[in-house]
């Protein structure tokens, strides 16, 4: 339970960094970090959390030149690095925390963000 609490605290800190923003994309990032920790990072849950209709959320994100999927990818990329920094977490656990159903999908996504597989990232940048 200790690791879970630590991860939810990390997500809460990430969330807090966006709370005061007027930009909907920044608010969405914070909310998604929280929803991800609970395994609910989807558009419907985000709309409920922001108290917006799906169409209003889409329209406001478009006005900021972004989309739900783009914001979700950004949050996953940021949290992936944070979670991989915790040596107690296996790559599969990180994948699950980020909403991926398997390690292969997570590895593909991580490589698209950082041009390196998560295991190599961990070995190269996190071991001293």
Average pLDDT of span 60-74: 96
Long-range contacts of 97-100 (CB under 8 A, 24+ apart): 97/7, 97/36, 97/37, 98/36, 99/36, 99/39, 99/41
Q: Does position 15 have pLDDT exceeding 70, yes or no?
A: no
* Residue 24 predicted with pLDDT over 80: yes
Range(s) of the domain holding residue 28: 2-126
Assess whether pLDDT exceeds 90 at residue 5: no
Mean pLDDT for the chain overall? 87
Alpha-carbon span 117 to 12, nearest angstrom:
26
Number of compact structural domains in the chain? 1
CATH number at residue 63: 1.10.10.60
> Considering the entire predicted model, what is its pTM?
0.79
């Amino acid at each position: 339970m200790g690791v879970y609490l630590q991860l939810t605290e990390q997500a809460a800190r990430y969330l807090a960094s966006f709370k005061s923003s007027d930009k909907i994309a920044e608010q969405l990032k914070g909310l998604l970090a929280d929803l991800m920790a609970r395994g609910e990072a989807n558009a419907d849950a985000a709309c409920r959390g922001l108290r917006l209709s799906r169409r209003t959320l889409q329209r406001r994100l478009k006005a900021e030149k972004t989309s739900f999927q783009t914001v979700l990818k950004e949050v996953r990329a940021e949290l992936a690095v944070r979670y991989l920094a915790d040596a107690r977490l296996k790559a599969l656990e990180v994948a699950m925390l980020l909403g991926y159903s398997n390690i292969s999908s997570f590895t593909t996504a991580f490589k698209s963000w950082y041009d390196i597989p998560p295991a190599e990232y961990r070995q190269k940048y996190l071991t001293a």
